[in-house]
Structure 1
Amino acid sequence: MANPIFDNSPVFQDPVQRRGQKPAPAGATTYATTGAAATDAASLEALYGSPSATARDTRRMTYDDVIIRTAGLLAILVVVGAATWVLAPGLWFVGAIVGLVLGLVNAFKKQPSPPLILLYAAFEGMFLGGLSKFYEDQWNGIVGQAVLATLSVFAVSLILFRSGKVRVTDKFRRTVLLGLIGYCLFSLINVVLWLFTGMHDFGPLRSGWLGIAVGLIAVGLAAASLIIDFDSIKRGVDKGVPAKLAWVAAFGLVVTLIWLYLELLRILAIFRN
């Protein structure tokens, strides 16, 4: 089965080709004419002498596309989060549920939907705004520390990727995937124990030094996930995937950054509890 990304990419497909168009029979010759006039030598010379098409002309994804869309999603998240913090922090639960549903829908959609991705950022902003207000009320200054730590981990991950000191290989991807599966199972067990025992603010397995250790492992996994995200974006730009897939790249980065922020916020809360 062909990869739909490359099937729909202008790099691998003639932009004037229509779906379902049958190829010309073997040995057949086609001619393109305008009215009764055929293309002459002067037109061909002008064609070959014209500048190469840019990424904008061919509608390929660029790094600027990803940066602009990621910045837009983060701006929506911050604005809605600030409004929720001030006006209705109790709505964090609604943001958590709706944000989770929209996140799953966007993750499994075959084609990116910008409106759904924007809605995801808005509801995640509602969730993070209310939750951050709760943490800030208990531990003054903790939100600023978590934001600074998130930006620091993001910057370090980007530097490691750009420097080539960390290479995304198949083994690297498999290791991160196994780590994520193990982390999810551990978190599920912790939630179940918390529901039955009601002990500790973060669950019996996410408190104290054990909670800090697990949190640091989660931060490492999030940083590794960011490096994989950077590699995927680079591959997409190099292969000339359609510009609309910049929404997918931005969505993936925002999801990882939200997870990273929550883990750092939890670690800081355990330290200061």
Structure 2
Amino acid sequence: MRTTSNPVFRNLPKQEGSGYASFGSATAGAAQVTQQFGQPQYTQAEPYRTGPDSRPMTIDDVVTKTGVTLGVLTVGALISYFFVSNNNALAAPFVIGGGLIGLVLVLVATFGRKMDNPAIVLAYAAAEGVFLGALSFMFTNIEFGGAGGSALIGQAVLGTFGVFFGMLVVYKTGAIRVTPRLTRMIIGALIGVVVLALGNLVASFFMDGGFGLRDGGPIAIIFSLVCIGIAAFSFLLDFDAADKLIRAQAPEKAAWGVAFGLTVTLVWLYIEILRLLSYFNSD
């Protein structure tokens, strides 16, 4: 069974098989698609049991709830950016406060199995909006050692959604198969970059710049490119996990969990793209 590098998508129906992805194209049912000699085969799987007041999740639910979540995040980011641009002293509190609240909500949603709770999802979006708005200002403002201004933020946003839609096309066309081996490789790479990032943070307390993973030099550029690549491939696993929920007739509210997981990956991707662009715009 395939898993996902995004912990938000871990609680999925137990289904066997691998194959080409079909996010948004599979009909609701209890079928698992596998690929053998170019012909799809279907094996029976246990579907979710929805209550009398619930209906199975559809791709429209995923799109709608993801749009609402990203809308809340965007509004939060704009408000945060406005306040920080008028009072630079708010930058650090917004970044630290928004980041910590977002992290706590991710942990609560993941380990408390509340990924489909709209209140938690939207609260996370609001907290991350505050975090991203302030962080974007710090990355692009001269007073914080940044450069590029709002134009750099626009480039990062375009780059983020460009990667997202590009990987969605790759997923739907089956250009890259989501296999157990690919999943293990992505999860292993994800663990690797997290360990390196934490090690660099600890090392920075004892030596200037740590291991050089975030100082803007050649190693930092390579590290950011690796992180962007891992985040991009993580979308394939996230789409696959969402596709399983649709095929297993998960209840409608499960779409909030899908929106949550996709937003987590989008936030990470945006930060890495913005960081990379800031390297090229710094003196």
User: What's the TM-score once normalised by structure 2's chain length?
Assistant: 0.75
Residue number in structure 2 paired with 1:204: 212
Residue number in structure 1 paired with 2:137: 133
> CA shift at 1:97, angstroms?
1.1
State the SS of the aligned residue for 1:193.
helix
User: Structure 1's 73 and 172: CA in aligned 2 closer, same or farther, altered over 3 A?
Assistant: same
Residue number in structure 2 paired with 1:78: 74
Residue number in structure 1 paired with 2:186: 176
Cα contact 1:135–1:142 (8 A) shared by 2: no
Q: Deviations over 1:105-149 (max 9, x none)?
A: 112222432111111110000000001111221322211111111
> CA shift at 1:165, angstroms?
0.6
Query: Within the alignment, does 1:244 sit opposite 2:274 as a pair?
Result: no
Name the larger-Rg structure. 1
Residue number in structure 1 paired with 2:57: 61
> CA shift at 1:205, angstroms?
2.3
Cα contact 2:65–2:255 (8 A) shared by 1: yes
Find the aligned partners of 1:237 and 1:131 in 2 and give their Cα distance.
35
Q: Deviations over 1:130-185 (max 9, x none)?
A: 01111221322211111111011111101100110111111111010100111111
Query: Within the alignment, does 1:104 sit opposite 2:112 as a pair?
Result: no
Find runs of 4+ consecutive structure 1 residues off by over 3 angstroms. 3-6, 9-16
User: Structure 1's 136 and 254: CA in aligned 2 closer, same or farther, altered over 3 A?
Assistant: same
Cα contact 2:105–2:124 (8 A) shared by 1: yes
Cα contact 1:83–1:129 (8 A) shared by 2: yes
Give unmatched runs, 5+ long, in structure 1.
Answer: 17-56
User: Structure 1's 14 and 197: CA in aligned 2 closer, same or farther, altered over 3 A?
Assistant: closer
User: Structure 1's 4 and 266: CA in aligned 2 closer, same or farther, altered over 3 A?
Assistant: closer
Residue number in structure 2 paired with 1:117: 121
Cα contact 1:5–1:242 (8 A) shared by 2: no
State the SS of the aligned residue for 2:80.
helix
Cα contact 1:193–1:204 (8 A) shared by 2: no
Query: Within the alignment, does 1:215 sit opposite 2:215 as a pair?
Result: no
Find the aligned partners of 1:233 and 1:109 in 2 and give their Cα distance.
19
> CA shift at 1:92, angstroms?
2.1
User: Structure 1's 239 and 191: CA in aligned 2 closer, same or farther, altered over 3 A?
Assistant: same
Query: Within the alignment, does 1:224 sit opposite 2:220 as a pair?
Result: no
> CA shift at 1:11, angstroms?
4.8
> CA shift at 1:5, angstroms?
5.4
Find the aligned partners of 1:15 and 1:243 in 2 and give their Cα distance.
10
User: What's the TM-score once normalised by structure 1's chain length?
Assistant: 0.77
User: Structure 1's 68 and 13: CA in aligned 2 closer, same or farther, altered over 3 A?
Assistant: closer
- The 5-angstrom pairing of residues 32-71 of structure 1 reads 59-71=55-67
Aligned residues: 227
> Whose helix fraction is larger, Structure 1's or Structure 2's?
1
Structure 2: which amino acid aligns with 1:123?
A: A
Find the aligned partners of 1:80 and 1:120 in 2 and give their Cα distance.
11
> CA shift at 1:58, angstroms?
5.6
Query: Within the alignment, does 1:145 sit opposite 2:155 as a pair?
Result: yes
> CA shift at 1:238, angstroms?
1.3
> CA shift at 1:196, angstroms?
2.0
Match of 2:264 among 248, 255, 259: 255
The percent identity for this pair of structures is 37
